[in-house]
Amino acid sequence: MASRASQTTTSRLENLWALGLDESSPVVDEIPASHAGSWLGEGEICTSISPASGRAIGHVRAATLEDYDLIVKHAEESFRIWRKFPAPRRGEWAKALGEALVKHKRVLGALVARECGKILSEGEGEVQEMIDMADFAVGLSRQLYGLSMHSERPSHRMFEQWHPLGPVGVVTAFNFPVAVWAWNALVAGVCGNTVIWKPSEKTPLCAVAVQQLVNEVTEELGFPQVSFLACGGRELGEAIARDTRIPLVSATGSCRMGRELAPVVAARMGRCLLELGGNNAMIVLDDSDIELSLRAVVFSAVGTAGQRCTTLRRCLVQKTIVNDFSERLKKVYETLPARIGDPVFGSETLVGPLIDEDALDRFDMAIDTIRAQGGEILCGGQRVSPEQLPANLADGYYAEPTLVRAHADMPITREETFAPILYLIAVDSLEEAISLQNNVDQGLSSAIFTNSIRSAEKFLGTAGSDCGIANVNIGTSGAEIGGAFGGEKHTGGGREAGSDAWKSYMRRQTCTVNWGEELPLAQGVSFDV
């Protein structure tokens, strides 16, 4: 029979899943939010606030540094077993987890939407990303290829192979509370690593729900634990950065966070995989499909209430069409306030809330700065007042999607504000647009809309976009998992998800086998004794 404590935890976990389905579900009370083979947490009580309502939806018990140390020890022990499993068997774990996510897609997507504020379609889309990553990881488990090279020495064989690193630290942000974990954990797992996950303290309930699924799948397969959870605040992130037991730290967050974390990891000769900020631009030329570009602008700029690292911040429009384009875009923006509302239970909602009051304050400060620097607010620019919202949303954190007519030398256009603010900037030429696009510290996502193959190829060429992602006739936001995701410059240089991003989670070993009876030295060196 289960103990009283485990029964309590089980009932709380059931209440957690109910949050995604029932608007009136009870607040989840003091759920343990870390896992090291069993649920634990002896730290402070942290409250999860729904940004849509501004009200508590759950209370979690965070991990202490002592809890964290136990988690790492369990992850080390499990790694020593897990790394010996053949990679295709590790792929079975990814496959089973993908199947579990398919079954729970609707409710987990709704929980994501409720806790971080993105609309339900985007919440379910985030879970679909996890499912897609699971499919990718299954195939990857049979494709961890090395190279075979010809040796210069007779009767020698030379090749390279890849081995897992160990426990990998994964630090994720609130805006993609589960998908970024999947980008890392599913690839790292099939590569033979274990994972220690520190989620954002703003979205701990999503992490607990995913960890529960991982536990069920892993136990059913009889495999050692692959993913471990450590919920808590900044002190846990700092512990991961300092911990010599963790050879790789994959961290998603602000550029400021990356600048603080990277030197700490480097000082102990660890590896960093950084996914940091973006200040993304879209170029719209006068030969583009205007209807297509308008639709791309609106989703890229307004989706997730402007809280994606790939959100469109700057729209660089050729002067010959900028007046017409801005008028048509303004008309679309004027319809958006009517679509602001409950991200989970509002069927017509397109724009959900910002994550918290601090985000609203930063929005307000950006609007003041825009005006001070000579920008013209064409649409939006205000918080949504409580009177404009239903009573149950009156304490939520809502801001109007904002369209700004800006000029290129406004300093704020070179900064990233995590809110639905779009700068519309007129340019004379493609060359000017590319120069302006690249004239920011970040280098994540970029796009061009044109029907000219020459313009498109120039944008994609060596003198074109300096971003890790460059799209033609596609917006900046919403990447497929098949390609490696990440950016350059202050975005951190990391790559996650598809392509050969798996190599970040492994160590390369060059091997040479002498099957002959002589001992020739490389480069013809003679050393007779």
Bridge-based pairing of strands 442-443 and 445-449 is: unpaired
Burial (CB < 10 A; 0-12, 13-18, 19+), residue 121, is middle
Q: Whose CA is closest to 38, among 218, 258, 270, 186?
A: 218
For the chain, the C-alpha Rg in angstroms (whole number) is 25
pLDDT value at residue 29: 86
Separation CA 87–CA 192 (nearest Å): 7
Q: What whole-number distance in Å separates Cα of residue 516 and Cα of residue 116?
A: 63
Strand pairing category for 248-252 and 271-275: parallel
Strands 167-171, 194-198: pairing is parallel
The amino acid sitting at 195 is V
Query: What is the 8-class DSSP label of residue 351?
Result: B
Nearest CA to 123 among 188, 51, 55? 51
Q: Classify burial at 254, counting beta carbons within 10 Å of its beta carbon; exposed 0-12, middle 13-18, buried 19 or more.
A: middle
Cα–Cα distance measured from residue 373 to residue 470, given in angstroms and rounded to the nearest whole number: 29
Helical H runs in 252-376?
255-267, 290-302, 319-335, 357-372
CA 78 to chain centroid: 26
Q: What is the pLDDT of residues 238-263, one digit of tens each?
A: 999 999 999 999 999 999 999 999 99
CATH label, 79-276+494-508, candidates 3.40.605.10, 3.60.21.10, 3.30.470.10, 3.40.640.10: 3.40.605.10
Give the per-residue pLDDT at 55: 95
pTM of the full structure: 0.95
Q: Residue 351 carries which side chain, given as an amino acid letter?
A: V
Would you identify the CATH topology of the domain 280-481? Aldehyde Dehydrogenase; Chain A, domain 2 (3.40.309)
96 touches 220 (CB < 8 A)? yes
Residue type, 436: L
Would you state the pLDDT for residue 8? Answer: 59
Distance of CA 491 to the CA centre of its chain: 12
Structure tokens at 362: 């930063």
Residue positions annotated with a catalytic role? 275, 309
Domain boundaries, the chain: 79-276+494-508, 280-481
Give CA angle at 289 (401, 453), nearest 5°: 125
Show pLDDT as tens, one digit a residue, over the chain (529 residues): 233 344 456 777 778 888 877 777 888 988 999 999 999 999 999 999 999 999 999 999 999 999 999 999 999 999 999 999 999 999 999 999 999 999 999 999 999 999 999 999 999 999 999 999 999 999 999 999 999 999 999 999 999 999 999 999 999 999 999 999 999 999 999 999 999 999 999 999 999 999 999 999 999 999 999 999 999 999 999 999 999 999 999 999 999 999 999 999 999 999 999 999 999 999 999 999 999 999 999 999 999 999 999 999 999 999 999 999 999 999 999 999 999 999 999 989 999 999 999 999 999 999 999 999 999 999 999 999 999 999 999 999 999 999 999 999 999 999 999 999 999 999 999 999 999 999 999 999 999 999 999 999 999 999 999 999 999 999 999 889 999 999 999 999 999 999 999 999 999 999 999 999 999 999 999 998 8
Q: Could you report how far apart the first and last alpha carbons of the chain are, in Å?
A: 74
Return the pLDDT at 489: 98
Separation between Cα atoms, residue 502 and residue 138, nearest integer Å: 13
